Structure 1
Amino acid sequence: MVAGVLTSAVTAMMLAAVGTGGTSGTTGGGTGDDSVEVRAEARFAPPKAFVPSSALTYNQELVPAGSWIQVTQRSDQRGTRVSLRVKGMEPNYKYGVHVHQKPCGADPAAAGGHYQNKPSTDPGDVNPANEVWLDFTARRDGSGASSAYHDWGFRRGEAASVVLHREQGGAGERLACFSVPFAPQPEK
């Protein structure tokens, strides 16, 4: 592979149903604490970049080409934690970040709507209890981090990206998108 492709490609690790040696106590058979971990990282590039990336920037002022993102998901029968780390963002800017339903595309709308634990068309259900919100304010050096924990997990094939929005909270203009191979929560 060309070195440039290696640096901008997603590094993804998926460990599905890894036993940790403990007993979960939540299943009748005491099968152990099954867990899933997904870690993906990439450098942002414009949608039509010569070297494609799974992290796309639609606004290079706020999400510069070459800035970095990492998303980690850890799920077990008790719940799911999603963590976000970034570098190279606009210092002191307040970013809204949510998990979305579909992978990224050249059109910012390609990622679809927010992933919701209980799908709804009611605007009142757009909230951090029903969705995965990873809002953060970039530090002076352009780095940032956040995480969210829920006692629920993703449904198979229904969560596929993280979108950075112009505003914190419910939504706003889509600044960038990162396709992430989220995994479903292990069965209880």
Structure 2
Amino acid sequence: MRRRLSITLAGLGLFTALFAAAASAVAPAAPSATRVVAEPVAFTTWNEKQPPAAVTYDRHLVPVGAGAVVLAAGGPRTVVGLVVQGLLPGHRYGAHVHQKACGATGTAAGPHYQNVPDPVQPSVDPAYANPHNEVWLDFSTDADGNGQAFAVVDWNFRAGGARAVVLHEHGTSGMPGEAGSAGPRAACITVPFS
């Protein structure tokens, strides 16, 4: 497990540089706000006595010991980045920022964080469940199970309103009646966005 995580850290340099460049381009007033908001973590199973920062609910899609890191920058816009390693190779994942911290089950993280909340929950209305009103970080893994994504939105998180990144079984749908849906929750990373 430590070896996998150290490889993630070694491979993080280029992504971090690209992330910082993107953050500076979209949020030039606050380039110093670029920071790692979640230390590199390894996915594990839930432990009630010592809740992990990253938990897997589907060991096939997100094996125990797989690694991840989340980056975020604020300013006039928000940039969020996700790097993963050791997941199922050649697979398309959905990933979104959620309202609550991770828990024993995938539902603990609550619904997607929305800048303008949909009065109807769960939200499947494309007027609310879309990549401009939510943070969507969908990615595909390579032959080694590694992947990355970043998203830019024209708003900042409300204080205490965004607490996790959830990885879902498949890519996110934008279709009416299922907008924002990406299948069962495969894993969760607790992140203190605000």
Q: Which residue of 2 aligns with 1:80?
A: 78
1:179 aligns with 2:176: no
Aligned partners of 1:35 and 1:75 also within 8 Å: no
The size of the alignment, in residue pairs, is: 153
Q: TM-score, normalised by structure 2?
A: 0.73
Comparing 79-88 and 43-52, the one that deviates more: 43-52
Aligned partners of 1:80 and 1:152 also within 8 Å: yes
The aligned amino acid for 1:178 is I
Instruction: Indicate the structure (1 or 2) with the bigger Cα radius of gyration.
Output: 1
**Could you tell me how far 1:36 is from its partner in structure 2?**
3.1
Structure 1 unpaired stretches of 5+ = 8-31, 184-188
Identity %: 44
Q: Which residue of 2 aligns with 1:139?
A: 142
Q: Which residue of 2 aligns with 1:115?
A: 113
The aligned amino acid for 2:62 is V
Taking only aligned residues, the RMSD between alpha carbons, in angstroms, comes to 2.1
Structure 2 unpaired stretches of 5+ = 6-28, 173-179
Comparing 82-91 and 43-52, the one that deviates more: 43-52
Which structure dedicates a bigger proportion of its chain to helix? 2
Aligned partners of 1:38 and 1:182 also within 8 Å: no
**Could you tell me how far 1:151 is from its partner in structure 2?**
1.4
Q: Which runs of 4+ in 1 moved over 6 A?
A: none
In structure 2, C-alpha distance between the alignment counterparts of 1:51 and 1:147, rounded to whole Å: 30
Aligned partners of 1:70 and 1:84 also within 8 Å: yes
In structure 1, C-alpha distance between the alignment counterparts of 2:66 and 2:133, rounded to whole Å: 29
1:36 aligns with 2:33: yes
Within-5 A mapping of 1:5-84: 33=30, 36-39=33-36, 40=38, 41-48=40-47, 52-76=51-75, 78-84=76-82
Give the secondary-structure state (helix, strand or coil) at the position aligned to 2:161.
coil
**Could you tell me how far 1:167 is from its partner in structure 2?**
1.7
